[in-house]
Structures are given as structure tokens and as C-alpha cells.
Amino acid sequence: MRLDRFLGQRKTLGRRAVRRLLATGRVTVDGAVMRDGRHDVGPFTPVALDGEPLATRRPAYWMLHKPAGCVSATRDPRHRTVLDALDPADAEGLHLAGRLDFNSTGLMLLTNDGRWSRRLSDPRHKLPKVYWVRTEDPITPEYAAVFERGLYFAYEGRMTRPAGLEILAQREARVTLYEGLYHQIKRLFGHFDNRVVALHRERIGPIRLDPSLAPGQYRALGADEIRLPGPAEPDLQEPRRP
């Protein structure tokens, strides 16, 4: 949001009072005096008035090895949620960057940084989400062309985006998605009447599930993992169709 709006909200001040604070050099952003009220500040930007910090939230980024049998939600009246796996002090204010089904396992990302999680999940960034899948029946080579071409999902009223399929064994495959529709992988295999019996997310974009994490364990992301490819503040447009 704009710096002048942020100051007005935080200090309950009118526009004139905010303008005066800015004009007299009492406001700093990232340690430097900022007089321009149009300056954009994020939820974690260090803003100070007369040297006193106004923005106190710190960004948090975690990876969890989601175990089977818990819900991808921040609360649920009946089941354990992925947040229950975290220490309550670490879990405060977090939301999920993407979901996994109740019995799916693997990489789950949790954060309090909405911009970051939107970038991760926005299909226009084309960040691959990679899953290992086991099915009830054999997987045949014809699946790959169908996954690539896309299937019409009636509930969403559109075609799925191209997905990758690498057959690893008779009943095992690696699937790459660039979006996250409800039960997407199960529905893709469902097209062939082939039931998914195990599903494990290995990677989202550049972030791989740490193999040292057992199901239910979690750790903070490192700086290299938090840095996502592509522009920091994207203004992506879907390409116009002729």
C-alpha cells in the first residue's frame, strides 16, 4: 500500500497531518528519509517515525513434510491440520501456499507473506509443481499426450493447462503441474479410470522437499529458497488471444 495511507492508518491521522510528517523528514523507509507519500510499502517494510519502528511483523517461511491424514487448512473442527504439526509460536499468522489432499504427502509451504504465496501459486509464473504418483492400474504411454493437451474440467468450465507425465514404472509416474485445481491429478488419472493410491509432492518451483525431514517435521526456508525466479513485483497479464 502507499506510504501515506499506511501512516494514516497506523497513527490514525488525516491526510494533512500525514503530509506534514513526510515533508518534515520524520519518516524513514529502510532507514532512509522518505518524503514521497506515494512510495509503496509492503507488510514487512521497515517504516519508522522519529526513529520508532512502525512495521513490526517479520516474514516467516516454512517447509513442512506433510504426513498423510491431516487437512490442508489452518483450522478444522474434526481433523488435525497441517498447522498442528508446527510449534504454536511458529504457526501464528501463517497461511498455506498451496494445498494437498487429506492423504497426500510431501512438500507443504507455509508463510505469513501473502505476496510471496500469490507468486508461488499464480499459474502465470509457470512454477512447476512436481508430484510422485502411484496408481492402482498400469499407466500407458497414451496418458502423456492427454495430460499435455489438457482435459476439460466441467466444474471449472475450462481446459487444464498442459501437464507433464514421466512414467517411472508400471504403476508409478512423476507428474508436473503448473496450476492447482481441486484433486487435479486424481481427476487426470480418473479420465482413464485409474485410481491414484499414493501422491507425494516433491517440489514447488525451485523449492524441493528436504529429504532429512520425516513426515510431520518442518524447517525454516533458507534465503535461496525464498528467492523465487521472475520479477519481484509482477504485473502479469494473460496473453491476449487474437
Residues making contact with ligand URA (CB under 6 A): 100-101, 104, 183-186, 199
**Looking at beta carbons only, is 19 or 134 nearer to ligand URA?**
134
CA distance 173 to 175: 6
What b-and-e string marks burial along 174-183, b requiring 16 or more CB atoms within 10 Å of the CB? ebbbbbebee
CB of 10 to ligand URA, least distance (A): 39
Q: Where are the alpha helices (DSSP H) in 57-216?
A: 88-91, 114-121, 142-149, 184-190
Is 36 one of the catalytic residues? no
Question: Cβ 152 to ligand URA, closest distance in Å?
Answer: 17
Number of helices followed by number of strands (H, E) in the chain: 7, 15
**Judged by CB, which is closer to ligand URA: 19, or 125?**
125
- Nearer residue to ligand URA within complex by CB, 37 or 200: 200
- The span from the CA of 168 to the CA of 20, in Å, is 65
Q: Looking at beta carbons only, is 34 or 181 nearer to ligand URA? A: 181
Q: Cell digits for 236?
A: 502479469
- Number of neighbouring beta carbons within 10 Å of residue 32: 6
Nearer to ligand URA, 6 or 218 (CB): 218
Helix axes 3-11, 15-23, angle to 10 degrees: 110
CB of 183 to ligand URA, least distance (A): 4
122 — phi, psi (to 5°)?
A: -70, 115
We find the least distance from the C-beta atom of residue 205 to ligand URA, in angstroms, to be 15
Cell numbers standing for residue 195: 485410481
CA angle 93, 208, 62 (to 5 degrees): 15
Q: How far is the CB of 184 from ligand URA (least distance, A)?
A: 4
The active-site residue, picked from 84, 90, 101, 122, is 101
Q: Burial, 49: exposed, middle or buried (Cβ in 10 Å; 0-12, 13-18, 19+)? A: middle
Please tell me the total number of residues recorded for the chain in this structure.
Answer: 242
Annotated catalytic sites, by residue?
101
